[in-house]
Amino acid sequence: MSQQQGAGSARFGQQDVTVDRRETVYQGFFRMDKLWLSHPRFDGGRMPQFTRELFLRGDATCVLPYDPQRDEVVLLEQFRAGVIGRDQSPWLLELVAGMNEVGETPEQVAQREGDEEAGLSFQTLEKICEYLVSPGGTDEMIHLFCGRVDASRAGGLHGIAAEHEDIRVHVVPVAEALAMVADGRINNAAAIIGLQWLQLNHQRLREAWA
């Protein structure tokens, strides 16, 4: 790294990428495109044209429901096909989450999914961050929030049958949820990031939201 180029500054931008050809190679519940592209190299040369397959999911919104009075979080248990074949159950403990539809703000998605997946309404939403899920192969961006809820109203089974959703709601003390992150029982990115953020902001939120 040169003295002039710091780690936090980007030398190249969108305008430096040349996409010579783009072809949709799969269209189902999700879409996959094949790209023929090139871009500059850090040594001043140019990368020869190469191909990449890009999994197009679009943006999604995730929310960690938190009750500051009871010091509990609400987690959702549901099946995930991506875990099939691994040495763990395909039923994961996750956050409220949903895909962003055209014209929706992340906050609107948060409220919609809170109602559909857990029967919850968020009294307050605080933005945690936005992050790229796996930018080497997908365009998905997650908009992550913490949402204030009354956890005494949470529980039961939820989900939209037509979308093959079957969701069980759990109310978990914050300390127990953090222990599940530590021992690997919770191992999906949004839940880990959200709970670790809550650990860092725990006292502030309890004071602000109580």
Give catalytic residue positions.
163
SS (H, E, C) 131-199: EECCCCCECCEEEEEEEECCHHHCCCEECCHHHCCCEEEEEEEHHHHHHHHHCCCCCCHHHHHHHHHHH
Question: How distant is the alpha carbon of residue 137 from its chain centre?
Answer: 15
Amino acid at 163: E
Angle at 171 between CA 194 and CA 125, to 5 degrees: 45
Instruction: Give Cα separations from 12 to 7, 39, 43, 44 (angstroms).
Output: 13, 9, 12, 11
Amino acid at 148: R
